[in-house]
């Protein structure tokens, strides 16, 4: 483990059992302290006030964190307190904004709405229908896959007419082909929609097989806040299974709070992992840190964590023989069978196993934008940890877009050892000044590190193969002027894209509005999926070869 990891250490534990003393974790809890504590910690560097926000596994080390990493802790606290304060207004604004955007769209924009009002023919949006589009969907209305014949080859793999209801076609991805990346970014964007919109696009526009949509439980947030859908390239004898996680929703306070949360849990011999992302996958709850140990121990036939079947329901359940301290000295901590259906990791893994039985030659891809990208890379990480070798052998690749950092350097080394051989399988796309891939911080103060292949696209959509994107922590005086100049260029480019690149690339008024907001905070507008779709389709340089069937 590197020195930065040791310096970050862990904090004071809330448990006294022998089990919890072996755990290593740090939790930043903005709800535990008040504004007065925050003020004293900020202005006077008062240690006691800072400690009121921190919880961890060792008192001495948490005090070191409070002193040595005060500014990083303060950034997380201030942002998350601000987000929590405006959580409800943000949610209500989102509901109103989504309704307004769909009202305009369904009535053919403002003039059409006024005309329909006069005629009494106003079309009223209905949530959770095929016509109700998300805010992200209104930012970029493209739903069709890239049509360039030289990039996307659709062919009959069986040379007959009986293999698929979709014209006996399957996607064949050739080395160096952008088709798979395009499918992944479009699926990542589509994941922001409701299940009916997703199903309609997959079936009728992409001519593929929609498997299912999952609205999954986050035990810490006490709500279903993790969404993911699965598709196959065809309904029989599929070659490709794609899993797409939903990213940070613009008006979801919990999603934004997770992005700015620096809390971590250390998996022995693997590394430190972002605690909020683990909770989003359904792999623990910081209210009882031992739950992470229960989910993240290696699965073995004896001792540790083991898998069994529920005879009555045929679902997986997980149990673990662990010393839980004085209260459960010889007890067994169980993950009930219904957890398979409620949480993202267990639901997706269970469905993936059943799909492999239906499609013997299929490989799978995991993808996601923003928060969805973090979940996309953590999902195979836990599969590796649980020694799900049969599943991992059928992993074709992980493609993420605007993904935040998920763990430390040790975690990166662990994952690269499993995802880089015989060919790289993990590709992390970063567009220009996108703020989110620069979070949480990676510097001498904090330990979060990216890993894997970085495909960096500048504002001219020139692709560069890099170990790390430029300006890896976003803030810096020498980058300040270029960031704002680039934001001005992106606004101009958005206004002329329809003329320079064709009607498919024309940006609407809502997208242009976000570009204007980007003049104040460039990294925010750069995070929009529009930039990633354009980067994949217009990228001017191909440095690496993509894995293929």
The catalytic residues are 370, 434, 527
Report helix, strand or coil for 39.
Answer: helix
60 burial class (0-12, 13-18, 19+ CB within 10 angstroms)?
A: exposed
297 CB-near residues (< 8 Å, 6+ apart): 304, 305, 320, 322
Residues in the chain: 549
Q: Check residue 9 and give left, alpha or beta (phi > 0: left; psi -120 to 50: alpha).
A: left
Distances (CA, A) of 334 to 251, 301, 337, 338: 35, 15, 9, 11
Closest by CA position to 208, among listed 170, 175, 158: 170
The rounded Cα 163 to chain-centroid distance in angstroms is: 34
135 CB-near residues (< 8 Å, 6+ apart): 94, 97, 98, 101, 192, 249, 250, 251
Please state, in angstroms and rounded to a whole number, the distance separating the CA atoms of residues 370 and 191. 11
Please state, in angstroms and rounded to a whole number, the distance separating the CA atoms of residues 349 and 364. 11
Distances (CA, A) of 26 to 2, 242, 355: 17, 34, 38
Instruction: State the helix-helix crossing angle for 509-517 and 477-500, rounded to 10 degrees.
Output: 170
90 CB-near residues (< 8 Å, 6+ apart): 83, 251, 252, 253
Q: Check residue 15 and give left, alpha or beta (phi > 0: left; psi -120 to 50: alpha).
A: beta
SS (H, E, C) 317-357: EEEEECCCCCCCCCCEEEECCCHHHHCHHHHHHHHHHHHHH
Retrieve residue 421's tokens.
Answer: 């051989």
């Amino acid at each position: 483990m590197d020195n930065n990891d040791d310096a970050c250490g862990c904090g004071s534990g809330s448990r006294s059992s022998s089990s919890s003393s072996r755990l290593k974790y740090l939790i930043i809890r903005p709800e535990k302290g008040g504004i007065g504590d925050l003020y004293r910690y900020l202005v006077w560097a008062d240690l006691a006030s800072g400690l009121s926000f921190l919880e961890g596994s060792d008192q001495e080390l948490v005090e070191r964190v409070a002193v040595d990493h005060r500014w990083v802790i303060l950034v997380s606290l201030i942002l998350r307190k601000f987000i929590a304060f405006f959580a409800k207004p943000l949610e209500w604004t989102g509901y109103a904004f989504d309704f307004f955007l769909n009202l305009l769209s369904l009535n053919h924009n403002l003039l059409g709405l006024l005309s329909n009002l006069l005629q009494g023919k106003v079309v009223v949006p209905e949530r959770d229908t095929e016509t109700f589009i998300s805010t992200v969907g209104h930012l970029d209305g493209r739903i069709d896959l890239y049509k360039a014949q030289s990039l996307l080859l659709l062919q009959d793999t069986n040379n007959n007419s009986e293999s698929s209801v979709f014209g006996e076609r399957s996607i064949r991805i050739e080395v160096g082909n952008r088709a798979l990346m395009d499918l992944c970014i479009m699926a990542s964007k589509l994941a922001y929609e409701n299940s009916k919109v997703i199903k309609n696009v997959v079936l009728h526009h992409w001519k593929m097989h929609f498997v299912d949509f999952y609205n999954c439980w986050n035990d810490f947030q006490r709500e279903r806040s993790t969404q993911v859908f699965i598709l196959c390239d065809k309904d029989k004898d599929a070659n490709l299974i794609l899993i797409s996680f939903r990213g940070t929703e613009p008006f979801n306070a919990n999603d934004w709070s997770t992005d700015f949360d620096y809390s971590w849990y250390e998996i022995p011999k693997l590394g430190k992992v972002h605690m909020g992302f683990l909770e989003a996958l359904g792999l623990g709850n910081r209210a009882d840190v031992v739950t992470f140990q229960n989910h993240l121990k290696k699965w073995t036939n004896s001792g540790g964590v083991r898998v069994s079947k529920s005879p009555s329901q045929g679902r997986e359940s997980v149990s673990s023989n662990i010393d839980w301290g004085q209260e459960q000295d010889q007890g067994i901590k169980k993950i009930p069978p219904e957890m398979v259906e409620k949480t993202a990791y267990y639901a997706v893994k269970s469905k993936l196993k059943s799909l492999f039985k239906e499609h013997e030659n299929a490989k799978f891809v995991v993808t996601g934008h923003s928060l969805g990208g973090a979940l996309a890379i953590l999902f195979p990480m836990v599969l590796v940890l649980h020694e799900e070798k049969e599943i991992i052998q059928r992993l074709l690749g992980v493609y993420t877009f605007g993904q935040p950092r998920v763990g430390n350097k040790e975690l990166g080394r662990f994952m690269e050892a499993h995802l880089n051989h015989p060919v790289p399988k993990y590709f992390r796309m970063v567009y220009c000044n996108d703020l989110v891939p620069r979070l949480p911080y990676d510097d001498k103060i904090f330990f979060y590190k990216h890993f894997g292949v970085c495909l960096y696209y500048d504002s001219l959509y020139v692709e560069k193969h890099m170990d790390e994107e430029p300006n890896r922590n976003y803030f810096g005086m020498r980058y300040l002027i270029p960031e704002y100049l680039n934001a001005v260029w992106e606004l101009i480019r958005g206004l002329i894209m329809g003329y320079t690149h064709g009607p498919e690339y024309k940006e609407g008024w809502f997208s242009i509005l976000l570009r204007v907001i980007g003049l104040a905070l460039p990294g925010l507008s750069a995070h929009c999926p529009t930039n990633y779709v354009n980067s994949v389709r217009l990228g001017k340089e191909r440095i690496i070869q993509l894995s293929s069937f």
